[in-house]
Amino acid sequence: MPLQPRTFVSFNETDHKPNRASMVLCYNNRPIYLGDFNYRLGGVRRDLETLKAQGLLSGEVEPLRRFGYRYCFGLGEDETLLSLARVPLSRTLSNIEPRALVAQHCESESAVLPREPTDNTVEARNRYFTAALMRELQLDNVPYFCSFTSGCAGFISLLSVAGGLLSDADERPAACFMADSVPPGAPFDMQRERILGSDHSSAFLVSSQPCNYQLLGINYYSTARLLVPLIEVVQRTLRMIEELASGLNLSLAKSDVVAHYPNIFPETWEMVTRHLRLPRLEPVLDQMAERAHCGATDSVISLAKLHRNKAGRLHVVVNYGVGLHLAICILKEHSIKRS
């Protein structure tokens, strides 16, 4: 039988169905908490001029400077992503035996260890980063899961997965971690998007037992388009926040609210803040100049810093990442008594 010619289906990126609903998850009747945040950045701090001089930028310095970037962090000569990730996860776990481990990477290269081309043994194929990190921490017999398709929206994607792993019959928490470093030979910036990144890792717990924050709900949108106009990001973010708050019967206008934004597109989040029109809103872009964009770890850093034992204060966390994904979650702050 002769071979049939292949049929190529074109993808219409302009037909983006702006009214297509996102996925809303509400946890009103099933308390889920998160806390024990820890993070670590690469050991080498470089300014923009040094990055350019060392050939670590794909574009020019000035566009990044105008966006607000000044420095970023990369792995040191004596560091690997594995050694970087070991610190925050070990601190989060402490003496806790987790029910499960959930990992997320923005870069697919970060999800596996480097391969030796001449090694064809079975052991060489078992290069999953999570398993290697578990061996480093002497952690075994714990179910683990991993994804790298949620990009820098990984913090909220971790919440959605880990929340489904909790059980009334088992009070042990799920441990979540994120880890990413710039792939070998790749620059620290994205020229067109004017994004500067840092090597990073972070970890936290998701539990059925009260801790720093209670997860109230998630609103998650994905598209297969390669590009989304920033004005659409603004519109969708506003609509998704309003939809989630309405589904949770929350009045953001009558609440103390903190909005956590990723360290990218500052003008976009300024527009979101302005159009939210919330009288008691504290917008947060945490140390964008000093540490650049730390992927999904941006959310962990700002949540760790902004917990002030103000019970009932609401935290709106915004994630946006390649994939493309736009995700919102609303958390309620809890007051934690320290012994």
Per residue in 4-19, pLDDT (tens digit) is 444 444 445 555 555 5
Based on the domain organization, do 253 and 310 belong to the same domain? Answer: yes
Residue 5 lies in a domain: no
Based on the domain organization, do 191 and 266 belong to the same domain? Answer: no
* pLDDT tens per residue, range 282-316: 999 999 999 999 999 999 999 999 999 999 999 99
Residue 59 lies in a domain: yes
Which of 180, 207, 234 is the last residue in one of the domains? Answer: 207
The pLDDT assigned to 189 comes to: 95
Q: In whole numbers, what is the pLDDT of the chain averaged over residues?
A: 92
CA angle 179, 300, 24 (to 5 degrees): 100
| pTM recorded for the entire structure | 0.91
Based on the domain organization, do 166 and 272 belong to the same domain? Answer: no
The pLDDT assigned to 136 comes to: 93
pLDDT: which is higher, 125 or 40: 40
Based on the domain organization, do 159 and 128 belong to the same domain? Answer: yes
Residue 203 lies in a domain: yes
Asked if the model's pLDDT at residue 28 lies above 90, the reply is no
Based on the domain organization, do 198 and 271 belong to the same domain? Answer: no
The pLDDT assigned to 9 comes to: 41
Based on the domain organization, do 202 and 218 belong to the same domain? Answer: no
- Please state which of the ranges 116-120, 227-231, 291-295 shows the lowest mean pLDDT: 116-120
* pLDDT tens per residue, range 155-202: 999 999 999 999 888 999 999 999 999 998 899 999 999 999 999 999
Based on the domain organization, do 172 and 312 belong to the same domain? Answer: no
Domain housing 285: 24-32+212-333
Asked if the model's pLDDT at residue 244 lies above 90, the reply is yes
Based on the domain organization, do 105 and 85 belong to the same domain? Answer: yes
Residue 310 lies in a domain: yes
Residue 157 lies in a domain: yes
Residue 72 lies in a domain: yes
Based on the domain organization, do 79 and 203 belong to the same domain? Answer: yes
Which of 207, 233, 264 is the last residue in one of the domains? Answer: 207
Residue 9 lies in a domain: no
Based on the domain organization, do 175 and 242 belong to the same domain? Answer: no
Based on the domain organization, do 172 and 265 belong to the same domain? Answer: no
CATH number assigned to the domain comprising residue 37:
3.40.47.10
Based on the domain organization, do 271 and 182 belong to the same domain? Answer: no
Number of compact structural domains in the chain? 2
| Stretch 202-222: mean pLDDT | 97
| Stretch 14-33: mean pLDDT | 79
